[in-house]
Amino acid sequence: MELIFRDDPYQKSCSAKVVSAEGNAIRLDRTVFYPMGGGQPGDTGVLRLADGSELRVVDARKGEGPDDVLHIAEDGAALPAAGSEVEAEIDWDRRHRLMRMHTCMHLLCSVITGDVTGGQVGDGKSRLDFNLPDTQLDKEAITAALNRLVEEDHPVRPRWITDEELEAEPQLVRTMSVKPPMGAGKVRLLEIEGVDLQPCGGTHVRSTGEIGPIRVGKIENKGRQNRRVNIHLIE
């Protein structure tokens, strides 16, 4: 399956051919739908069939292989036959908010030192957990640092390195709970120029200015080793 979002996260739709449709899961030969993973939710959207009818996609999940995406149809939908041509289109407004939030999570990683133990990107609201047993986090300072990085408008771009290069630089891996997908020979890194570099397969905006102003919400204590930082987009 060709994963278009990997090279161009701004592509909103594509034509594709149905490879299989079983239960409520549809496989296509190419897709713009990002499947849930790395703390980012799966895309929603529609598949438009040749007769003009639309099938609602309520989620996208990873299938069996590394490049396998399952488009989850809404309950009771009649599935298209294998071989049919469809137009696949994501809910762009939602995805763009997820891209802004996800990119902001990388900024948060650069602002707070400490291992990331978990996180969740959401639509307009996200959180990251840090292993910081003895640190009080300063909400005002974090808010100012994040908004400054947004205003500085740093370029954001993916690049690939080999498994061997990553093993030689283990400090690139900030997230203890999500190991980068190794074994395929190469790993995708996300670079925010001058700010952050770490393995990530998610979708991001082109530059940090596109995130827009953000607000730090509650900073919670989640157990002895966890500080949970909540982030909101201001719109």
Query: Rounded CA gap, 90 and 46, in Å?
Result: 6
106 or 228: CB nearest Zn ion:
106
Q: How far is the CB of 16 from Zn ion (least distance, A)?
A: 25
Q: How far is the CB of 158 from Zn ion (least distance, A)?
A: 9
Q: Does 55 bind Zn ion (CB under 5 A)?
A: no
Q: Which residue from 190, 197, 211, 233 is in contact with Zn ion, where contact means CB under 5 A?
A: 190
Considering only the stretches 78-86, 140-148, 162-170, 194-202, report the one whose residues sit in contact with Zn ion under the rule CB under 5 A. 194-202
Considering only the stretches 42-50, 121-129, 182-190, 208-216, report the one whose residues sit in contact with Zn ion under the rule CB under 5 A. 182-190
Q: How far is the CB of 200 from Zn ion (least distance, A)?
A: 3
Query: Rounded CA gap, 60 and 173, in Å?
Result: 26
What residue type is assigned to position 137 of the chain?
L
Query: Rounded CA gap, 71 and 125, in Å?
Result: 24
Query: Rounded CA gap, 112 and 173, in Å?
Result: 15
26 or 60: CB nearest Zn ion:
60
Q: Per-residue x/- marks for Zn ion, 197-216, CB under 5 A?
A: ---x-x--------------
111 or 190: CB nearest Zn ion:
190
Query: Rounded CA gap, 142 and 112, in Å?
Result: 8
26 or 128: CB nearest Zn ion:
128
Number of residues near Zn ion (by CB under 5 A): 3
Q: Does 16 bind Zn ion (CB under 5 A)?
A: no
Q: How far is the CB of 1 from Zn ion (least distance, A)?
A: 21
14 or 200: CB nearest Zn ion:
200
Tokens 């040749």, located at residue = 50
Closest CB to Zn ion belongs to which residue?
A: 200
List Cα–Cα distances, 42 to 62, 109, 122, 126, 141, in angstroms.
9, 22, 10, 15, 32
Number of Cα atoms under 13 Å in the Cβ half of residue 34: 29
What does the DSSP assignment read for 190-218? EEETTTEEEE--S---SBGGGG--EEEEE
102 or 228: CB nearest Zn ion:
102
- The phi and psi torsions of 110 (rounded to 5 degrees) equal -80, -25
Query: Rounded CA gap, 170 and 135, in Å?
Result: 24
- The binding site for Zn ion (CB under 5 A) comprises 190, 200, 202
